[in-house]
A = this chain, B = another copy of it.
């Protein structure tokens, strides 16, 4: 279809040397990457300026993958594959932390650029990996680690590199969004919707990393690092999952005009003295139903960026799955391979701002508190005055039921997390509150 004259990337440069690729892992993502590399090899050659050549795929058990790939491409010796002279780029799609860390470090030290889709690895060991990449003057790409095919790592590193980012927040875990969305639309409870997510393949057999928010916390760490030019690891991220969200919470939220989403929130904070710090947190969050993130349904992801000059931006799409993740990995392969053929290096790690991570207690938040109170005149006023005594002003206090089951729903204005938490725990112990049904933070108003 293409003529020789068109087979040039940059006029006069011709088609360059082949770029050798090693892929570590042959699961859903790895297989899609191999398939698409093969199916569109001509396009890759043109876009890169030289052909991509798959040199091998490392798996832990060759028997398991026999027949899925040419015999001579499969190996169970990842380290030897990485070290081959004809391998220029190493793609890590194994998952886990310790083993891929060893392999990625070995690849970088051997002078190979690395593309990884591994959020947990990047969120835990970015400093070590970046240093190794810098020392060897090679690339470390990880677009697929956050929100799969939705371009967000690249835009934060490049397109928005001239702006001052104030916050990055959004829905970065498809599994929990699927569950919460299903609870919201059907009224079903958490356990049933988790079971449905598992049956449909949206949740893994062990859903802990998703439902406890750890996966989102890794992504929050990566986003905060990029946005604020500061090293943020998963350990710096306050994290609360969705396992305690009940159908009653969802119902109450709905009634009050909210929906509950698991948000990753990364903010630059400025205190009264002008001192800047960073908050990165993941927790169930009430947002108004007319907020753009409220309409993000099923397993979709969406990321909001607020920047000084750009204003508010949103990126939306498939945040998980073999194909979308492969799309992001392949985009990174093209980038790293172009640099191999044409010279140059992608912008590396940027942590110069080195802002402190705010203690979670010092972060301004808002609470939505659902509690059962004793049946006594003046209980509403008494509760309001307890908040007021702690310097917390209330936006609304709503009595839902009366009598024996008197239920109060309190929505606060913004206050320090520690003040809010202390007040709620004091109320919990007071004689006027029978029980606190739920405490959910609120954003986006």
Interface assignment of A350: CB less than 8 Å from any CB of chain B: yes
A352 contacts across to B, CB distance below 8 A: 2, 6-9, 46-47
* Assembled-state Cα–Cα distance A164/B334 (Å): 13
Q: Mark A1-22, 1 if CB is under 8 A from B, else 0.
A: 0100011111110000000000
Taking CB atoms, residues of chain B closer than 8 Å to A249 are none
A32 to B162, CA, bound (A): 12
Distance (Å) between the CB of A430 and the closest chain B CB? 44
Nearest residue, chain B, Cβ from A313: B317
A318 and B323 within 8 A (CB): no
Q: In the complex, what distance in Å separates the CA atom of A158 from the CA atom of B149?
A: 12
Name the interface residues of A154-192: CB closer than 8 Å to any CB of B.
154-155, 158-164
Alpha-carbon distance A10/B345, docked complex (angstroms): 11
Which residues does chain B contribute within 8 Å of A9, judged by CB atoms?
348, 350, 352
Whether A338 pairs with B347 at a CB distance below 8 angstroms is yes
Q: Knowing A46-B229, A315-B315, A317-B311, say if A161 contacts B339 (CB, 8 Å).
A: no
Point out the residue from B154, B292, B311, B327 that lies within 8 Å of A163, measured CB to CB.
Answer: B327
Q: Do A309 and B333 form a contact, CB below 8 Å, given A149-B163, A151-B155?
A: no
Task: Provide the bound-state CA to CA distance between A371 and B333, in Å.
Answer: 54
From A36-44, A57-65, A405-413, the one touching the partner chain is A36-44
Residues of B within 8 A of A347 (CB): 47, 335, 338
B-side contacts of A154, CB under 8 Å: 151, 154-155, 158-159
Interface residues of A, Cβ cutoff 8 Å to B? 2, 6-12, 32, 36, 40, 43-44, 46-47, 131, 134-135, 143, 148-151, 153-155, 158-164, 229, 292, 307-318, 323-324, 326-335, 338-339, 342-345, 347-348, 350-354
